[in-house]
């Protein structure tokens, strides 16, 4: 029975598609809508409810599509607008919602708006971007050094938070808003279910243009981040990152703008949603008037998902959410196209498979909307590139060059450091089969990024599809368990055994159902005493250790790395 109090985006499991790497339908080595369309049955078999597409718009690809040159069209290499609408229609027919990526902060430097703006100081779009006669301070772009780039036509500098090919729009200009809201309506009119809002924190800059105080260049800071090992070193570089960009992030004006955007969405049927690429819960406004969701990034910002880390994270997030409104809703994720692969990030090199299953169980049983990233369901791992010519992430190629030229690093060391930091390592093509090019594209075609050779060792969809014990089938089972267990979707979260280092135990509870979740992160069997629990009987819903197993309370025994979900009474 569906609880109608809850919106679809509160109940849904989301799956992020990175269009370039998901499925190549026309065999040119680049993913496309034809490929996505062909894989809809697969997505349905996985059991997810909603898709988030990373940018599908025309782009010169300086930032893998996050540099948009036309907001109301489809990148030709991905297909036509007609193919897009067919894809969305077919997704909707299967009950899958589709949200798009919306990049508000900047356009491509090839966007007609920018070409016009940079052409002179008195054209109609002269102040659609952020122009200065001289660089006003020492601000950095987080991707490529100084944040101000000179344009001879105007004899002026424009500001860019990201690559110089991504000039920042001037959001203080009402015409910019009008133009962008028009693009938003274009996709909503076509039936898009909402948007993932890119980098919202970067939309406004400190009006006083205050310089930052970090005694390092961007390249030095990236190198220091790569080399930081101890907690103190990491804390220091994190503080530097915060300080370097403090005046370029989270500035006044953001919330008024998000309210305006929300009002545009609410002109529709009340079912369209916004999820912000930010962890700041302030973007939820009063719970009704800004974004519906922001990501719980602090959950994934760790090397090991430990029970203590998860518990502390939940305690803090859920308390902060409840201060906003009783309807404010959590949103958990462990991976995306900017991060290392979940399997690599949270593995320990020894129990990676078990830990990947625990990572998923964490996401699907905690309170909130889970977001999965394509490929994690088959345990795709980080791909370490070995030649700089393979890199597509310009943040990393810029860093490599700066490390050699500015920091004087040996090219081999610069390559190693860039290969660690590049986001390409989590963006390689999806591995569909144990076949040449992992079945992503024909054998004689070069895929846009190298394919991880571990497709031949079982890390591919088709092998895992046939193996009932594979990670893929585990994803399917656990997603199905969540779908069939109302309290896992809408129930309250109540932590148990706050001191345990080895396991996480909590209750999820609705008026009709109480679910006990026990996640054993430890390699040994554990005997857990639940005598403080008022519930006396437990019936098994799911165990990763055995399809059938005896359950008794209050003394419960869990197998190594067991994921246990039970209904208690």
Which residues pair with residue 148 across a beta bridge?
159
* 444: CB partners within 8 A, 6+ apart: none
Choice from 66, 187, 542, 561 touching ligand GLC (CB under 6 A): 66
- 299 or 541: whose CB is closer to ligand GLC? 299
Which residues between 195 and 234 bind ligand GLC (CB under 6 A)? Answer: 198-199
What is the distance between the terminal CA atoms of the chain, rounded to a whole angstrom?
20
Spatial CA neighbour of 422 closest among 383, 459, 381, 377: 383
Angle formed by the axes of helices 394-405 and 218-227, nearest 10°? 100
DSSP 327: T
Choice from 144, 277, 278, 376 touching ligand GLC (CB under 6 A): 277
**Closest distance to ligand GLC from the beta carbon of 515 (Å):** 33
* 242: CB partners within 8 A, 6+ apart: none
**Closest distance to ligand GLC from the beta carbon of 105 (Å):** 7
41 is catalytic: no
Would you put residue 437 in left (φ > 0), alpha (ψ -120 to 50) or beta?
Answer: left
Q: Is 336 helix (H, G, I), strand (E, B) or coil?
A: coil
Do 368 and 314 contact (CB within 8 A), yes or no?
A: no
Contacts 24+ apart (CB under 8 A), 119-126: 119/153, 119/154, 120/153, 120/154, 121/154, 121/156, 125/175
**Closest distance to ligand GLC from the beta carbon of 359 (Å):** 20
Catalytic residue among 271, 316, 405, 467: 271
- 66 or 561: whose CB is closer to ligand GLC? 66
Rounded to the nearest angstrom, the gap between the alpha carbon of residue 459 and the centroid of all alpha carbons in its chain is: 21
463 binds ligand GLC (CB under 6 A): no
- 103 or 402: whose CB is closer to ligand GLC? 103
Spatial CA neighbour of 486 closest among 513, 507, 506, 505: 513
Which residues between 95 and 114 bind ligand GLC (CB under 6 A)? Answer: 103
**Closest distance to ligand GLC from the beta carbon of 275 (Å):** 12
- CA torsion 100-104-110-116 (nearest 10°) is 130
- 64 or 403: whose CB is closer to ligand GLC? 64
- 419 or 518: whose CB is closer to ligand GLC? 419
* 63: CB partners within 8 A, 6+ apart: 143, 162, 163, 165, 166, 394, 395
**Closest-approach residue to ligand GLC (CB):** 66
**Closest distance to ligand GLC from the beta carbon of 286 (Å):** 26
Choice from 338, 352, 406, 465 touching ligand GLC (CB under 6 A): 338
* 33: CB partners within 8 A, 6+ apart: 19, 25, 56, 74, 78, 79, 80, 83, 84, 86, 87
- 129 or 162: whose CB is closer to ligand GLC? 162
How many amino acids of this chain bind ligand GLC (CB under 6 A)?
Answer: 9
Which residues between 155 and 174 bind ligand GLC (CB under 6 A)? Answer: 162
- 258 or 504: whose CB is closer to ligand GLC? 258
Q: How far is CA 339 from CA 41, 278, 297, 460, in A?
A: 27, 14, 11, 20
Do 169 and 178 contact (CB within 8 A), yes or no?
A: no
Spatial CA neighbour of 551 closest among 565, 533, 534: 565
**Closest distance to ligand GLC from the beta carbon of 169 (Å):** 12
**Closest distance to ligand GLC from the beta carbon of 55 (Å):** 8
**Closest distance to ligand GLC from the beta carbon of 397 (Å):** 13
Choice from 49, 63, 278, 290 touching ligand GLC (CB under 6 A): 63
198 is catalytic: yes
- 227 or 301: whose CB is closer to ligand GLC? 301
- Element of type H or E holding 495: strand 492-496
Catalytic residue among 198, 205, 463, 562: 198
Residues of this chain that bind ligand GLC (CB under 6 A): 63, 66, 103, 162, 198-199, 277, 337-338
Catalytic positions, written as ranges: 198, 271
């Amino acid at each position: 029975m569906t609880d109608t109090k809850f919106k679809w985006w509160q109940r849904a499991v989301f799956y992020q598609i990175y269009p370039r790497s998901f499925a190549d339908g026309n065999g040119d080595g680049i993913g496309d809508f034809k490929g996505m369309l062909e894989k809809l049955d697969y997505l349905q078999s996985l059991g997810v409810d909603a898709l988030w597409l990373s940018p599908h718009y025309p782009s010169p690809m300086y930032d893998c599509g996050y540099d948009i040159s036309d907001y109301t069209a489809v990148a030709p290499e991905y297909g036509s607008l007609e193919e897009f609408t067919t894809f969305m229609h077919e997704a909707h027919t299967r009950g899958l919602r589709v949200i798009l990526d919306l990049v508000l902060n900047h356009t491509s430097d090839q966007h007609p708006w920018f070409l016009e703006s940079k052409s002179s100081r008195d054209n109609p779009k002269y102040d659609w971007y952020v122009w200065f006669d001289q660089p006003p301070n020492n601000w950095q772009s987080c991707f490529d050094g100084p944040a101000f780039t000179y344009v001879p036509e105007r004899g002026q500098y424009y500001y860019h938070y990201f690559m110089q090919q991504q000039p920042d729009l001037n959001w203080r200009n009402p015409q910019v808003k009008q133009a962008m809201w028009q693009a938003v309506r274009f996709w909503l009119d076509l039936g898009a279910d909402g948007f993932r809002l890119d980098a919202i924190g970067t939309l406004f800059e400190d009006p006083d243009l205050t310089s930052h105080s970090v005694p390092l260049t961007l390249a030095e800071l990236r190198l220091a981040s790569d080399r930081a090992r101890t907690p103190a070193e990491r804390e220091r570089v994190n503080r530097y990152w915060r300080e370097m960009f403090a005046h370029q992030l989270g500035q006044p004006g953001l919330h008024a703008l998000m309210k305006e955007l929300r009002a545009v969405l609410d002109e529709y049927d009340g079912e369209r949603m916004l999820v912000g690429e930010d962890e700041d819960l302030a973007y939820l406004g009063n719970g009704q008037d800004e974004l519906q969701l922001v990501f719980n990034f602090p959950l994934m910002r760790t090397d090991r998902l430990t029970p203590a880390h998860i518990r502390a994270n939940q305690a803090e997030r859920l308390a902060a959410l409840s201060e906003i409104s009783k309807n404010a809703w959590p949103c958990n994720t462990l991976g995306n196209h900017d991060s290392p692969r979940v399997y690599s990030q949270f593995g320990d090199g020894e129990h990676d498979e078990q830990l990947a299953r625990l990572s998923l169980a964490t996401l699907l049983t905690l309170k909130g909307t889970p977001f999965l990233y394509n490929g994690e369901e088959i345990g795709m791992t980080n791909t370490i590139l070995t030649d700089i010519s393979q890199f597509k992430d310009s943040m990393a190629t810029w860093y490599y060059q700066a490390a050699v030229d500015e920091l004087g690093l040996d090219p081999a060391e610069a390559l190693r450091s860039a290969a660690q930091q590049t986001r390409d390592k989590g963006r390689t093509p999806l591995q569909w089969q144990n076949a040449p090019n992992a079945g992503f594209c024909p054998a004689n075609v070069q895929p846009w990024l190298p394919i991880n050779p571990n497709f031949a060792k079982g890390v591919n969809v088709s092998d895992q599809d046939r193996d009932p014990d594979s990670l893929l089938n585990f994803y399917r089972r656990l997603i199905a368990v969540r779908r069939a267990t109302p309290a896992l979707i809408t129930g309250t979260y109540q932590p148990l055994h706050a001191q345990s280092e080895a396991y996480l135990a909590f209750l999820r509870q609705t008026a009709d159902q109480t679910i006990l979740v026990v996640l054993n992160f430890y390699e040994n069997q554990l005997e857990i005493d639940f005598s403080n629990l008022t519930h006396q009987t437990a019936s098994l819903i799911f165990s990763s250790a055995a399809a059938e197993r005896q359950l008794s309370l209050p003394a419960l025994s869990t197998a190594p790395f067991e994921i246990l979900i039970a209904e208690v009474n």
